[in-house]
Chains A and B, each alone.
Chain A
Amino acid sequence: MKNKGVRNAGHTLVETMIASSISIIVLAGFFSTIGVFQTGSSNLSLLLERDANLWLAPLLLSRWIIPAGNNRWNQSWSGVTIDTDRLELKSDIDGPGGFPDSKLSSSFEALALRSSNSNLRVQSNRGSFQPLIKNIVEFKVDSKESGLLSIRLKTVTDRPLSMTEEDLSESTELLFFLRNYRSNLFPENP
Chain B
Amino acid sequence: MQGHRRRRETQRSSATSIRGFTLIEVMLSLVFLMVTSMALLQGLELAFRHYSLAQNRWKATVELWNQIEKLRATHSPRGEPLQIIPDSRPLYRTLLTDPRLGEHSGWEVLHSEK
Interface residues of A (CB under 8 A from B): 4, 7-8, 10, 26, 29-30, 33-34, 36-37, 40-41, 44, 47-48, 51, 55, 58, 145-148, 172-177, 179, 182-187
Contacts and interface: CB of A to CB of B under 8 A. Distances in A.
Contacts of A174: 62, 65-66
B73 A33 contact: no
20 contacts: A8-B15, A10-B18, A26-B33, A30-B33, A33-B37, A33-B41, A36-B41, A36-B44, A40-B48, A41-B44, A41-B47, A44-B47, A51-B58, A58-B62, A58-B65, A145-B73, A172-B59, A174-B66, A182-B114, A186-B87
Contact of B40 (A37, A177, A179): A37
Contact of B55 (A4, A36, A51, A185): A51
A8 B33 contact: no
Contacts of A185: 85, 88-89, 91, 112
B70 interface: yes
A176 B69 contact: yes
What DSSP secondary structure best describes chain B's contact surface?
helix
A174 B112 CA distance: 21
Given A44-B51, A174-B65, A146 B33 contact: no
Contacts of A30: 33, 36-37
A29 B36 CA distance: 12
Counting chain A CB atoms within 10 Å of each CB, the highest count among B37, B55, B91 belongs to B37
A177 B73 contact: yes
B95 interface: no
Contacts of B73: 145-148, 175, 177
Contact of B74 (A58, A146, A182, A184): A146
A71 B62 CA distance: 26
B113 interface: yes
Contact of A179 (B41, B48, B66, B72): B72
B53 interface: no
Nearest to B91: A185
The 10 closest A-B pairs by CB, nearest first: A33-B37, A177-B69, A146-B73, A7-B15, A175-B69, A175-B66, A177-B73, A40-B44, A37-B40, A177-B72
Contacts of A147: 73
Interface string B60-93: 0010011001101110000000000101110100
